[in-house]
Amino acid sequence: MNIQIINGPNLNLLGVREKSIYGDASFDTYLTELKKRYPDVNISYYQSNVEGEIINKLHEIGFSFDGIVLNAGAYTHTSIAIADAIAAIKTPVIEVHISNVHKREAFRHHSYLSANCKGVILGFGMDSYRLGIESLIG
Ligand code: DQA
């Protein structure tokens, strides 16, 4: 089974950025744990701060992979283009967020992506990614 994790803008700074919200683990450390936990799942990882690159990655793997776990960061709240890319591909996408965006600023309460995703997981810290994988492997 091939699962792609995609992280959007500023998520390369996990472990450094706003630790009280996002925790102090880097994504690389977390990814190593995830891969150990699911040895039979082929987990690929991609991060970009650039909207078009995230769209290109969705197009590239969105007709062959079994599932995508996507944290689009702030593009969640702004990007009709990423929403359209999710609608265009065949691979199911799980939208994830580390923080509970509904407890935060009002501009984070709306997602352009959710309606085109299979489901949404948010507010469980880094564990949101693991729950996303669990939902795909059933
Ligand atoms: C985030 C929530 C977004 O509102 C924010 O812009 C992020 C991270 C999260 O994982 O909690 O960059 O997607």
Each residue's pLDDT tens digit, 55-114: 999 999 999 999 999 999 999 999 999 999 999 999 999 999 999 999 999 999 999 999
| Model confidence, pTM | 0.97
CA 53/CA 86 separation, integer angstroms? 14
DSSP assignment of 6-18 equals EE-TTGGGTTTS-
State the Cα–Cα distance between residues 90 and 73, nearest whole angstrom: 22
Instruction: Kindly provide the ipTM of the predicted complex, given to two decimals.
Output: 0.99
Binding site membership of 126 for ligand 1 (Cβ less than 6 Å): no
List, for residues 29-65, the tens digit of each pLDDT value: 999 999 999 999 999 999 999 999 999 999 999 999 9
Catalytic one among 30, 97, 112, 129?
97
Number of CB atoms found within 10 A of residue 24's CB = 10
Q: Where are the domains of the chain?
A: 2-137
Binding-site residue set for substrate: 71, 77, 84, 98-99, 108
Is 129 in the active site?
A: no
Q: Which CATH superfamily is domain 2-137 in?
A: Dehydroquinase, class II (3.40.50.9100)
